[in-house]
Amino acid sequence: MIEEGRIEVYSYGEGAQHSKYVLYWMQQAQRVSYNHALNYAIDQANEYDLPLLVVFCVTPNYVGANARHYHFMLEGLAEVADTLKEKGIGFVLEKSHPVEGVLKYIKDAKMLVMDKGYLRHQRQWREELVQQIKEVVSMTAIEIDTDLIVPVTIASEKVEHAARTIRPKLWRLYPNYDHQPIQDKVKKKWKISLIKNIDRCDMTEDLIRQDYQGLIDSLGVDESVKPSKKYQGGYSKAIETLEEFFEAKLNKYKDPSPVTRNTSRMGMYLHFGQISSLEILKRLYKYVSEQKSAGNYIDQESVDGFIEQVFVRRELAYNYVYYTQGYDQFDKMTDGWAYQTMAMHRDDEREHIYTLEELIKCNTHDPYWNDAMREMVETGYMHNYMRMYWCKKILEWSPSYQEAYEHAIYLNNRYFIDGRDPNGYTGVAWCFGKHDHGWKERPIFGKLRYMNANGLKRKFKM
């Protein structure tokens, strides 16, 4: 059973006349484990005594994506394809815009299940798809919120002011949504012959052979940002990384040092939906309880600190993009007081100004910033503390706040494996005052929170 709050009905209808399958369009939640949308689709397929087909569409020109993102995503999808096959569920990788790709499979479907997407273009795709389906056939289309612990519309009906306003709501609702989702077996196994009449652009075989480069070549993806040599995608890799984090770093998580770096590296896996935050929390609680039973020391402050990030801060970020229309536009992304203070300091003299090219070449006077940027360009990762510092410095070193914002978003989305995520839009907006409050007034920053290299040296062994 899936909690009702996760389910949104887009339309009702009988579906195709001689239905051959139930269709799940996988997009946000690229995993088999802890995927409420997949579980719901399995239940529906069993109820109608039909097999289940999962379609994933790889879009050649997905907003801002490059070879680094595609590579990581395809590594995860190869594992999804394998696991679904073992379970007797069909999987097709379509090279197509999602709306066109999914529509091809509609004429033989009993119903459509979708996972919830939170960014503007993801929401538009779902609405457009359902609209187009209505023109062809009357069909039930259901969307399931599975990438948040508490569904975004249940947690709050409005944009939240700060972590302190959403935190009590999330914790009050948590007991209603912390159930481990149960995945039934499919009763009717998938057969590829069921889609023999569909004119496909199916790349599943390449995916299963793990020919990622071939796939990337055929998609014509921007290859100027290379795949990360350090980080590998997929559910198994996510679990391995998580377990290493529990063993080696969890007890030191409360230390925010970018030097010792006691973080989980879950951001990239969460971004592609290769792991669910609910599964992370469930595994964390199990690990902590086993360690305590074995008489091992657990640093509760560190555990609580990690839960705060992966649950409260992450779900605050999703709340922000969901309810802020202009979450990616300079003049709409932050609050009135922040715009006021920026207006007052617009003409302050900037000691250093760097172009986008100089930033990408890690060519500033600040060795800490350069190192952080180099790591971002080469590996696709940067520690949370340095992300704040990195963005604050772009604000300080740009001729205008708008240019600073646009450069930060561009670099963030281009180089981070977890770029183009609600957390990224929120993290950058935070540097411009969102979810924060006014601080002591200073040149250029005005009342926006200030960060400098001396602060880094004072706090950490840089």
Residues that bind ligand FAD (CB under 6 A): 263-267, 270-271, 309-310, 313-314, 317, 384, 387-388, 391, 412, 416, 418-419, 421, 423-424, 427-428, 430-431
Q: Which is nearer to ligand FAD, 396 or 421 (CB)?
A: 421
Distance, C-alpha 66 to centroid of its chain: 16
Do residues 302 and 253 make contact, with C-beta atoms less than 8 angstroms apart?
A: yes
Q: Which is nearer to ligand FAD, 98 or 258 (CB)?
A: 258
State the minimum distance, in angstroms, from the CB of residue 271 to ligand FAD: 5
Q: Which of 361, 360, 358, 386 is nearest to 372 (CA)?
A: 386
CA–CA separation, 13 and 37 (whole Å): 19
Q: Which is nearer to ligand FAD, 140 or 264 (CB)?
A: 264
Q: Give me the long-range contacts of 387-392 (CB less than 8 A, separation at least 24).
A: 387/427, 388/427, 388/430, 388/431, 388/451, 389/451, 389/456, 391/427, 391/428, 391/431, 392/431, 392/445, 392/449, 392/450, 392/451
Distance, C-alpha 198 to centroid of its chain: 31
Q: Which of 161, 157, 64, 169 is nearest to 430 (CA)?
A: 161
Distance, C-alpha 46 to centroid of its chain: 30
State the minimum distance, in angstroms, from the CB of residue 374 to ligand FAD: 17
Q: Which is nearer to ligand FAD, 406 or 418 (CB)?
A: 418
Q: Which is nearer to ligand FAD, 16 or 321 (CB)?
A: 321
CA–CA separation, 264 and 313 (whole Å): 15
State the minimum distance, in angstroms, from the CB of residue 262 to ligand FAD: 8
State the minimum distance, in angstroms, from the CB of residue 248 to ligand FAD: 13
Do residues 395 and 448 make contact, with C-beta atoms less than 8 angstroms apart?
A: yes
State the minimum distance, in angstroms, from the CB of residue 118 to ligand FAD: 12
Q: Which is nearer to ligand FAD, 44 or 66 (CB)?
A: 66
User: Burial code of 180-209, b = ≥16 C-beta within 10 A, e = fewer?
Assistant: ebebeebeeebeeebbeeeebebbbebbee
Q: Which is nearer to ligand FAD, 111 or 456 (CB)?
A: 456
CA–CA separation, 420 and 347 (whole Å): 31
CA–CA separation, 97 and 274 (whole Å): 21
The gap between the terminal CA atoms of the chain, to the nearest Å, is 50
* Segments of 109-181 assigned E as strands: 109-115, 139-144
State the minimum distance, in angstroms, from the CB of residue 41 to ligand FAD: 26
Task: Please name the residues in contact with 450: beta carbons below 8 A apart, sequence gap of 6 or more.
Answer: 392, 439, 440, 442
State the minimum distance, in angstroms, from the CB of residue 227 to ligand FAD: 17
Q: Which is nearer to ligand FAD, 23 or 312 (CB)?
A: 312
State the minimum distance, in angstroms, from the CB of residue 229 to ligand FAD: 18
Q: Which is nearer to ligand FAD, 110 or 271 (CB)?
A: 271
State the minimum distance, in angstroms, from the CB of residue 51 to ligand FAD: 34
